[in-house]
Chains A and B, each alone.
Chain A
Amino acid sequence: MQHRTWHRLGLTLAAVAVLFAVAQAQEPYRVGLSAALTGRGAETYAPVSEAIRLYVARLNARGGIHGHPVELLVEDNVAEPSRAAAHAKKFVSQDGVLLMLNASLSSTYPPMIHEAKRAGVPLFFAGSVCPREVYPPADPLLFCSTAFAARYDSEFALDFIKETAAGPVKLALVSMSIPISRGEVDYAEQLAPSRGIEPVSNQSIPPPTPNYAPFAAKIKAAGATWVYAWAPWVTQVKTFEALRQLGWQGKFLAYAHINAEEELARLQDEHFYVFGANAFFSHNLPVHQEILQAAAQGTMHPPTQLAEGWVAGMVLEAVLAGVSWPPTPAKVLAAMNRVRVDTRGLRGGPLEWTPTNHFRTTHYYRVYRWDRRQQGAVLAKDWTAVAIK
């Protein structure tokens, strides 16, 4: 009897041990994402969220991180702060996430930041506008991988206009009448004279306008030769189209949002420039092919809009790879403070965070425009590095 009993006991113990190990291996790295999948800003944040989801799915298919899958909890906050607050509470107290992500409007930031600080869980702004607190000296818990950079963008833009323009520049500025856009454009207006550029008009356009012609008329009347716009895509492109309809022949520089690439193909205007931090799919890098493959598995969004979210996914993977099992938010925070992400060509160089700089140490810009002969987007200016201090 004893032989058999020991045998059975041994087998049971072994089985339990295996099950335990298997269960542990199935234990995921859990992160929570609160995004504006519907509501205002959904045209920007839904593709970002989708790209992150696809990236994580692909990551899990390749075996996850240190053998553990990554569980991404996605909630739709409809760009409403109360919902974002509820999601943050749920992530932190009920789901026990290691890290929260935000891809939504800035009005959803305060409740999520509050919850993050209360629980000591880092908050990663993926695709949503980087708050001031991520620049050096950075707030300990807030991080950002989003492409646009307040102030630096306008500085780069003005320099680009100055060096591309032949001769003196009369610059008109266009913003949407929301604080972030207007603030940035007003900053550009202040900066222009120091670059030898004369600002002749500053139009701040309210969000849902059926007719952009009146604003375009004012710009044309002011005699602008260049226009610089830093606003949501709809304001930028509709102002541009209204200007062209009025017969304005000047050059337009706009910020490259996630749909810039397909819009360039639609507009086919050689004097419409877009500048940003993400590389176009027309270069067909290996990473672009990966995105196309992932998108082929079923997504409503055009693949060219997935670059920003994919970068966020890469950052997420790099961060979690630096977190040994069992993970805690504190370990995640430590990993984030020293992460260095190889963006494999999607951005101009690696994305690095340091304990004092949660934006990135170096930011890279590219400028694209449409070329009629090549029937494609071409570089108007290749990667330009800007150090973030």
Chain B
Amino acid sequence: MSTTGSWLRYATLPSVGLVLACLPLAILGSALYARLATQMLAYIAYTVAFNLIFGHTRQLFLCLGALAGASAYFSVILTRELGLSPWLTVLLGTALAAALGTLFSYISVRRGLGVIFLGIVTLAFSLMFENLLLGLRDLTRGETGIVTKGLGFGILGERWASYYVFLGLLLLALALYQALVSSKIGLALRALSDDELAAELAGINVVRYKVLAAGVGSALLGVVGACYAYYNGYVNPSIFSLVGVDVVVLVMLLFGGMGTLLGPVLGGAVFTVVNELVRPLGPLNLLVYGALLIVLFLAFREGLVVALRRATGLPLP
């Protein structure tokens, strides 16, 4: 491996951390941009999780919002009904999300479900989750949602403090990702995503690695989802809907670059900027948004990171 390569591998994560940590200075204290930036960090974290689950093991989980939402609602409801500490309930929510993700992965590997079919099963779960939230109206307050202000985690209420909490979570996630990918597990993941049959024949325990990736990714979704619910001040089915989370994450990852470290970060940043640009257009926004997405997909079919690699000649991680 070239020295540039290993230097980049070690330097990228701290550089990303530094840039994002300085972002608040650039925004100069605007409450609106603080909110947008924190939201961006949460979505980048979701994208890292999806990168693990889909980018490396080709398991198309179209239930990201549902997993994050399950964890969030579970945590909020437990804190509110049973008076448990939010620290504990966030952990419980994370465990729930991890358990669900592991379950889906296990079923799909055992039944030999292909990529698209797993996507459909998880899509069905997403839709059922939304219906479940509306059906259990007494617990979840249906469409109105639950107000989470003051349910604990005072730190998540403060403006820039929450930004740094989410930044910390994101950097942890990226570090975990990098550690996994550069370890033996990463090699196994790469083998089985290239050709599952050959990997199995070579002695790699496909079931174990796929389920592991799904579990870790789902746990990440769970912890970020629960924290986001507390940060947001209220939790509500539309925050974790298919269109609100899954489509966005899918776009961020595919545009940024699957299977890369920088992919989710760049994808998330570009996407947030595009969203903001489109906002003032009023009724035109959906149209321009769809058009922009199409143009971006046509231009960067393999993702932004790959394009940047070609442009700069550097093996960006």
Contacts and interface: CB of A to CB of B under 8 A. Distances in A.
Instruction: Tell me, yes or no, whether A and B come into direct contact in the complex with CB atoms closer than 8 A.
Output: yes
Contacts of B296: none
B144 A110 contact: yes
A116 to B, nearest CB: 13
B239 A82 contact: yes
A93 B145 CA distance: 25
Interface stretch (B30-38, B185-193, B215-223): B30-38
B239 A179 contact: no
Given A76-B285, A107-B236, A179 B35 contact: no
28 contacts: A37-B283, A38-B283, A75-B282, A76-B279, A76-B282, A79-B238, A81-B238, A81-B239, A82-B39, A82-B238, A85-B35, A86-B36, A89-B31, A92-B31, A93-B30, A93-B32, A94-B30, A106-B144, A107-B144, A107-B238, A110-B144, A110-B147, A110-B234, A111-B233, A111-B234, A178-B143, A179-B142, A179-B143
A11 to B, nearest CB: 39
A309 to B, nearest CB: 15
A340 to B, nearest CB: 32
A92 B35 CA distance: 14
B144 A80 contact: no
A90 interface: yes
Interface of A: 37-38, 46, 74-76, 78-82, 85-86, 89-90, 92-94, 106-107, 110-111, 114, 178-179
Given A89-B31, A93-B32, A107-B236, 9 more contacts: A37-B282, A38-B285, A46-B283, A81-B239, A85-B232, A90-B32, A107-B143, A110-B234, A114-B234
A110 B234 CA distance: 8
Contacts of B137: 179
B283 A86 contact: no
B80 interface: no
B149 interface: yes
Contacts of B149: 114
A178 B145 CA distance: 13
A76 B145 CA distance: 21
B308 interface: no
A82 B147 CA distance: 14
Nearest to A92: B31
Place the interface of chain B in its size category: 20 to 34
Top 5 closest pairs, chain A to chain B, by CB: A93-B31, A90-B32, A89-B32, A37-B283, A89-B31
Contacts of B32: 86, 89-90, 93-94
B142 A114 contact: no
Interface of B: 30-32, 35-36, 39, 137, 142-145, 147, 149, 232-234, 236, 238-239, 244, 279, 282-283, 285-286
A92 B31 CA distance: 9
A89 B36 CA distance: 11
Contacts of A80: 238, 244
A81 B241 CA distance: 12
Contacts of B142: 179
Nearest to B39: A82
A336 to B, nearest CB: 25
A37 to B, nearest CB: 5
Given A46-B283, A89-B31, A106 B39 contact: no
Contacts of B244: 80, 82
A56 to B, nearest CB: 15
Contact of B143 (A78, A89, A90, A106): A106
Contacts of A79: 238
Contacts of A111: 233-234
A107 B30 contact: no
B271 to A, nearest CB: 14
A81 B36 CA distance: 14
B162 to A, nearest CB: 14
B286 A38 contact: yes
B35 A107 contact: no
Contacts of A85: 35, 232
Nearest to B233: A114
Nearest to B141: A179
